[in-house]
Structure 1
Amino acid sequence: MSSPILYFRFNSKDRLWIEGKAYRPVEREEEGHLLLREDDLNTERFFSNEELDKLVLAGEVRIERSAFRPEVMRARAKAEAQRINDLPERERSQVARREIYCTRFLEMVQAGQATRSDKSMKRAISTIEGEINEAEWAAAARLGKDGDLIRPRVDQEIRTHKPPSPKTLRRSLDILEGAEGQALALRKAYRRCGDRLTSRHPADVCDLVDEISMSFKGEAAEARASVRTLHKQLGAKLLVINAERKAADLTEYSTPSYHYLLSRVKELHALETLASRHGVDIAEAKMAAVARGVMATRPLERVEIDEWKIDLYTVFEHHGLLEDLTADEISDLKKQRFWLCAIIDAATRVILGMKIGKKVGVQLALDTVEMAVSPKVPYARIAPSVSRWLFCGAFEQLVHDQAKWFMSLAFRTPILDLGSEVLAPPAGKARMRPKIERFFRTAKEALAFFTGRTFENVVVKGDYDPVGRASLTVPELCEVFVRWTVEQYHNSPHRGLNEQTPARAWEKLTKKYGVMVAPHSHDLRAIFGVRVKGLTVHPSGVEFCGLFYNCLELQEFLQRRGSAVLDIKVNHRDINCISVELGDNCWLAVPCMRSGMAHVPLDVWLATRQALRRQHEDESKLDDTIVKESVLKMMEIAKAAEQRTALVTTRPTTEQLTKLHRDVNFPFEFLRPDIGPTPLKGNLLAAAIIPARKALPAPPSSTSKPSRTIK
């Protein structure tokens, strides 16, 4: 059964706008309407009833009733408006009252209650005035408990309007009848009073004022002279002109007022003036058309990354290394400014990742991206009371500025490996990355209660000494930003989300659209891991910083090749596994052969080695139990510091890790189960990232336990 349609009726004097084109009704037929194109009187078009019904429902039809009636056209031309609601509020009420007086008086005349004599009209006007005032009283009154109107108090009386005289009412009646009832014609012509075109100053003075005002964006633009300065120049030039006129026995010119010159300056093209006085970039940034920009509808569809130089001097505590520095170096190190790199999700405004570094660059940016796509439970542990920082996952598009490190292959390649698109808007177009730019302005709230701020500029800063007043250490700064972001920002109403909180927006949109799964740890290590070059593979596996990494696949590869020098990738936050490059586009995840290394950071392991070296210098070998206990102890010691400084970027470079591996050497050995050779089998290059099979089994136990030493 087909749905019913609406059948429309049009007057021949109407104007119809259909899909942006103007039509006049010509003829109505049973099947539809024949319409004439207004811009081409030789073109007619037939619209069926069904077609018109669909167009009306789609909002493609607009009608102007009686647009071609002469009286309507005259009324609109006289009022210089299309409808009463287009008039200023004061004139709307005037037109409405005049229409009421006219309409009610004509009703009274038709009922035989009044005539057009002065005496009768005065009585009618008094009656109509009472009705209007009563209606205004009722509109301003409120209802009591019994439902009756409670009139306003005497001091809250409604201001009544002066009623028209019989002469004024007759004039209004003539206008309304001449316009055939079009109330718009009752608009008064007060707006046309006065001469606003003819200047009161002579032509020579007007030309001089034009010349001075044009210099505001011309000769005076570079010096950014004020209107006050230009007005003084105008007075000085008129002083010279008047001296010449006085000598010629002519009338002297009066000096135009400052406000007259200001009004002429305000008539200048605002964009051109701003560009002349402050530069094209500032003019474009301030007055360019603002649109909503690229809109993201689902989480992780579009994320934005940028850096912000934290406007706070911090005291940097370099734990455990101060004894190697001079007093001057410590003094310089203690007070520095840091950069905050952050990634925001455009759809939900949640912060996916943030890192603090001493300088901007590829390392800081990659650390932030890795944090954005990884679970952030360790960061939330900075403050036990904070809610879980759940926001992570693979994003579809990353937007950044034109900074050279963002444009470098070292940064863009890992992003492309994540399967994400990289977008870099033109330089200077901060409005094309509005979400992250606005977040950094909001982030200043996190530093509102601490001393040592640098403020926006030297004028705002005044005599304040941010260096001498520095009070916040780097670990404290990390905790401040995590607490503020997770506890306050994510749970505060956001104007860009219609007062919804970012956390609630993430929950709502992820339920609706879902998010892509975060990359596996093996993938993250292959994408973001730091490369260490030139490591030799031998039957014990790959040695890195005193740890051996081995698996069946690696041994099979060695047995095929005979010998190999390979590159590896290391995640400095977890050295339980490494990725070994077996060939082009083939990375093998290889586990550490020493147990208890899960989630152990590289710096903790290096500190453990150093501690064992100091404590056991007299022992030639250490068994696995001693090493494991030492690692656990160092993990406990480092836990608090690691949590407090979790936001600080510590990503080493390839050169640093390669040098570290070559320099590290133990003067004693660890006891470790031996690993024997394994047979070749399987396709080693079946995938780009090969998950290792279980660790190589130890040979059967015997009375003489074989061992292999690690040096």
Structure 2
Amino acid sequence: MQLAEGTQISLRGKVGSVYRSGPFGCELVWAEHCDVETGEMIAAISGRLSSEEIQRTLRCGSLKIVSLPDHLHVQPPQRAAAVAPRPKELMRAAWRECYVLAAQKMIDAGILQPYRADFVRHFAAISRNGLEEDSRRSSKAGKSKRAGQRIDVRMPPRCGETVWDWWNRVRAFGAGETLDNYRNSGRKGSRFTPEENALMQEVIGLRLTEERCSITSVCESVQARFRIQNNDLTKDDPAAKELTVPGYDAVWNAIAQIAPLDHKIRTRGMDVAYRDLHTLGQGLQVERALQRVELDEYTVDLMVWLRLLKIDHLITPDEKMSLGLTGDPKRVIISAAIDVYTGAIVAMQIAPAGTMNLAVKTIEMIYLDKQSIASAAGTEHEWPMHGHPQTLVLDRASVNMSDEMYLRLAAAGITNFAVPARKPFLKPWVEGFFPTMGSKFLQQFTGRTFGNVVLKGENDPAERATLTLDEFLAWLVRWIVDVHHTSKPATIGRSAPLFGWQRAVAETPPLILNDESRLRKAFGDRSERKVSRKGLQVQGLHYIGPEIADWFLNESERTLEVWWWHRKIGRVEVLLPDGRWVTAHCSDPRWADKSYDDLAMFVAAENAEITRGQDARDRYRVDADERTHELSGLRGMLPLAPSKDDLARRTKEFSRYMLDPSAEPFQARDLFEDEVTPFQDEEDADGGHSSMPAPPVDGSEYGGNME
């Protein structure tokens, strides 16, 4: 690119003039200018701009053409719209042209003479021929007629003198004379004097407040003020000229002349004025996928949400009971996260209110591969959107402003960008997702509701309901993956979310700023476990490591803090009491890269094996008990029953520590009066002492031998 000699340009605050231009650039003289940063006055100096620099600065807008040389002076184009005829003027001109042509045909045929009197004499024939010409042009226009449509009947001119004037001007000045000059008719300026306008503006300024008064009320105040002013004028001077009392349209025009921003603020408030009148620029600019992710939560009544999505009649009564829809308020939280660069839905969660920190689960879903969900729903396209979000846009809800959320996002390395409340335009992508889902989803299913009784007709949505809750979730996933992600927005330059994601990942892959250790601290569950010889036990699995074993052997503190993540159960993060973070591995290596879902399925399979063979085990137990009872009956033939002396001896032995109720009341000193020191009564065979006689070895004390 080149600049012509003599061109004056402005580049980054400097003004220069081109005095020589060549194929590789131009040479110019920079005028004296002031440095914006230092304030130093820089004298005039020569310089050079290459063709590449000229092209680059023109493209980014920093180089501006101040003036062109005289031999390249360009005349600015005239505003054709200011003099171009309007459609209604063209229609009136075509109507006049029909009667001018009819008169000219009669003159060519010798029926009509080019005189005013002859035009008056043959006016009926001219009108008839002109009306036929107008009808013929209307039929050639090809505009379809519908029943009940208003028909425009254009009457012929009033007299022959009018047609004579039209024909005479066309013959003298050309066909353009059929255009009328109605646009210049009427009063163009204000009919109120400057004093009247000033008084009107004064009253309007007093009434335009945040009370949002109506135009009618302001008009009444203005008229009342003008009438009082007229009364004061005529009272002093009966011959004085009265003020013109303005009407509704005049007051409305006077209000419209006030600055729109000031008018909007005083009548609607600052919030509404900022929402409606703040200027827009290029908008938010992002350069890669997952650079900015918007997340929002909606806490709504479950039945209200189902009605908004038109699925309240599509779930069965049993499913309503399972969801708790018994008529009592049931609150649910709907959480969604959208990538701004591609417009793709990277996470979506639905759960009852108060059951979990849904924002953490939604952020966790951004990292996870959602292809298994898409495959389970039977989608045709993939759901590959996952990775590390660089900036997460959240509202200032209490759960998002908590210390737990800040610590988790900090552990994951995510920038927490909190936007003010009641400013939906600061995160418009996620704010506009749910209205889009409500307007474009569930339009083809039977059993849906209608907007009014006319559209509903004889349709009964309750009887035609064919969609269950599980099917609804599957169709929702299919709509997200196959419809929403493949639909191109109307915005110029934006692609469908799926194709935009594929192109963005191919150009700049998402950043990887996290490993499993950081993800466990960000999205894991915290618990306290006691360390043992087997390590730490979490969900039935034991985790051990060199640091854990060393702590067990050398320290007395046994309770340790453990962070366990259900997506990767092969390892846990352990915080030792001295502040060190260590990673403990599962002692069973088969769970190294497994999730809690794999463990749950394995445990369920093992529990199913518990019942296998239960009938055989029960039958063995019953048969063994019956056989034992049969054998115990034969033992009645043996002399096992104790004799009378044996029973007396046993009774005395069992009751030797009982107190005699007839004796004196128990006193503590009686225990030590006749007490014999242990190990002094008699000596055992092995040299020991005992205060109790040894039982007979033959079992005679128990009524027989020991066989």
Q: TM-score range by the shorter chain?
A: 0.5 to 0.7
1:226 aligns with 2:199: no
Matched, 1:58 2:64: no
CA contact (8 A) 1:430 1:437 kept: yes
Cα distance change on mapping 1:443 and 1:302 into 2, 3 Å: same
Q: In structure 2, how many angstroms separate the alpha carbons of the residues matched to 1:527 and 1:318?
A: 40
Could you tell me how far apart the structure 2 residues matched to 1:15 and 1:423 are? 46
Q: Taking structure 1 as reference, are residues 306 and 330 closer, same or farther at Cα in structure 2, changes over 3 Å only?
A: closer
1:54, distance to aligned residue in structure 2 (A): 4.7
2:245 to 255, 266, 276: 255
The equivalent residue for 1:274 is: 264
Deviation at 1:411, TM superposition (A): 0.9
Contact 1:399/1:433 (8 A) holds in 2:
yes
Alpha-carbon deviations, 1:253-289, whole Å to 9, x = none?
5432322211111122222222222221222232223
Aligned position for 2:76: 84
Match of 2:504 in 1: 509
5 Å-filtered alignment, 1:137-286, equals: 199-202=190-193, 205-215=196-206, 217-218=208-209, 221-222=210-211, 224-241=212-229, 249=238, 253-286=243-276
Structure 2 match to 1:421 = 415
Distance 1:599 1:415 in 2: 22
User: Residue 358 of structure 1: which of 326, 338, 352 is its match?
Assistant: 352
SS of 1:214's equivalent? Answer: helix
SS of aligned partner of 2:560: strand
2:305 aligns to what? Answer: 312
Aligned pairs (5 A) from 1:367-386: 367-386=361-380
Structure 2 letter corresponding to 1:406? N
Q: 2:485 aligns with which of 478, 486, 490?
A: 490
Tell me how far apart the structure 1 counterparts of residues 602 and 427 of structure 2 sit (CA, whole Å). Answer: 41
Cα separation, partners in 2 of 1:19 and 1:267, compared to 1, 3 Å = same
Task: Report the Cα distance in structure 2 between the residues aligned to 1:448 and 1:574, rounded to whole angstroms.
Answer: 37
Q: 2:521 is paired with a residue of what secondary structure?
A: helix
Tell whether 2:394 aligns with 1:400: yes
Pair member with larger Rg: 2
- Describe the superposition over 1:396-420 as per-residue Cα deviations: whole angstroms up to 9, x where unpaired: 2222222232222211222222223
Residue 550 of structure 1 aligns with an amino acid whose one-letter code is Y
For residue 588 of structure 1, the aligned residue among 580, 583, 607 is: 583
**Which whole-Å CA distance do the structure 1 matches of 2:188 and 2:250 have between them?**
13
CA distance in 2, matches of 1:448, 1:254: 62
Q: What is the correspondence of 1:642-653 to structure 2 with a 5 Å cutoff?
A: none
1:579 and 1:590 in contact (8 A); partners too: no
| Separation of aligned partners in 1, 2:21 and 2:345 | 61
Is 1:539 equivalent to 2:527 in the alignment?
no
Secondary structure (helix, strand or coil) at the match of 2:379 reads: coil
Aligned equivalents of 1:589, 1:424: Cα separation in 2: 35
Judged with a 3 Å threshold, the aligned counterparts in structure 2 of structure 1 residues 163 and 22 are, in CA distance, closer, same or farther, namely farther
Stretches of structure 2 lacking an aligned partner (at least 5 in a row): 35-40, 86-136, 142-168, 175-181, 452-460, 619-707
Classify 1:603/1:282 alpha carbon distance in 2 versus 1 (closer, same or farther; 3 Å).
Answer: farther
> Offset of 1:510 from its aligned partner?
0.8
Q: Which amino acid aligns with 1:312?
A: W
Shift of 1:312: 1.4
By how many angstroms is 1:494 displaced? 2.2
- Please report how far the alpha carbon of residue 536 of structure 1 lies from its aligned counterpart in structure 2 after TM superposition: 1.4
Provide closer, same or farther for how the CA distance between residues 559 and 239 of structure 1 changes in structure 2, counting only shifts above 3 A. Answer: same
Q: Quote the residue 1:458 is aligned against.
A: none
2:542 is matched with which residue? Answer: 549
Residue pair 2:14, 2:30 contacting (<8 A) in 1 also? no
Q: Counterpart in 2 of 1:129?
A: none
> What does 1:120-139 correspond to in 2, within 5 Å?
none
Which string of whole-angstrom CA distances, capped at 9 and with x for unpartnered residues, describes residues 315-342 of structure 1? 799999979x9xxx76256x63533222
| Residue 511 (structure 1) shift | 0.7
Q: Pick one of 427, 432, 443 that aligns with 2:437.
A: 443
1:300 to 272, 290, 299: 290
| C-alpha spacing 1:393/1:26, structure 2 compared with 1 (3 Å) | closer
Question: Counterparts of 1:15 and 1:372 in 2: how far apart (Å)?
Answer: 54
Instruction: Tell me, in whole angstroms, the C-alpha distance in 2 between the residues paired with 1:569 and 1:389.
Output: 29
Q: TM-score, normalised by structure 2?
A: 0.56
Provide the C-alpha distance between the structure 2 equivalents of 1:567 and 1:200, rounded to a whole number of angstroms: 85
1:525 partner amino acid: R
Secondary structure of 1:403's counterpart equals: coil
Change (3 A) 1:416 1:481: farther
1:558 equivalent to 2:552? Answer yes
1:300 deviates by 1.8
**Contact in 1 for aligned 2:537/2:543 (Cα 8 Å):** no
Q: CA deviation at 1:245?
A: 6.0
- Distance in 2 separating the partners of 1:243 and 1:611: 101
**Cα distance, 1:519 vs structure 2:** 4.6
Task: Name which structure has the greater RCO, CA cutoff 8 Å, separation 6+.
Answer: 1
Report the CA distance shift for 1:303/1:286 in structure 2 as closer, same or farther (over 3 A).
same
Report the Cα offset of residue 252 of structure 1. Answer: 5.4
Sequence identity of aligned pairs in percent? 19
Q: In structure 2, do the counterparts of structure 1 residues 57 and 514 end up closer, same or farther at CA, with 3 Å as the change threshold?
A: closer
**Secondary structure, in 3 states, of the residue corresponding to 2:400?**
helix
Q: Distance in 1 between matches of 2:485 and 2:551?
A: 49
* CA displacement, residues 283-327 of structure 1 (integer Å, 9 cap, x when unaligned): 22322232334411111222222223466147799999979x9xx
Query: 1:43, 1:556 → 2: CA distance?
Result: 73
Q: Which amino acid aligns with 1:211?
A: E
Root-mean-square deviation (CA, aligned residues, Å) is 5.5
CA distance in 2, matches of 1:510, 1:308: 30
SS in structure 1 opposite 2:553? Answer: helix
TM-score, structure 1 normalization: 0.56
Deviation at 1:505, TM superposition (A): 0.8
Q: Give the distance between the partners of 1:579 and 1:25, measured in 2 at CA.
A: 69
For residue 555 of structure 2, what is the amino acid of its counterpart? R
Measured after TM superposition, the shift of residue 434 of structure 1 is 3.2
Q: Does 1:339 align with 2:349?
A: no
| Partner amino acid, structure 1, of 2:379 | S
**Structure 1 spans left out of the alignment, 5+ residues:** 73-81, 94-151, 167-189, 456-465, 623-711
Given the alignment, which residue of 314, 338, 342 partners 1:348? Answer: 342
Shift of 1:210: 1.2
Distance 1:87 1:24, change over 3 A: farther
Distance in 2 (CA, whole Å) between partners of 1:24 and 1:162 is 54
Who is 1:9 aligned against?
A: 5
Aligned counterparts of 1:398 and 1:281: Cα–Cα separation in 2: 25
SS at 2:358 equivalent: helix
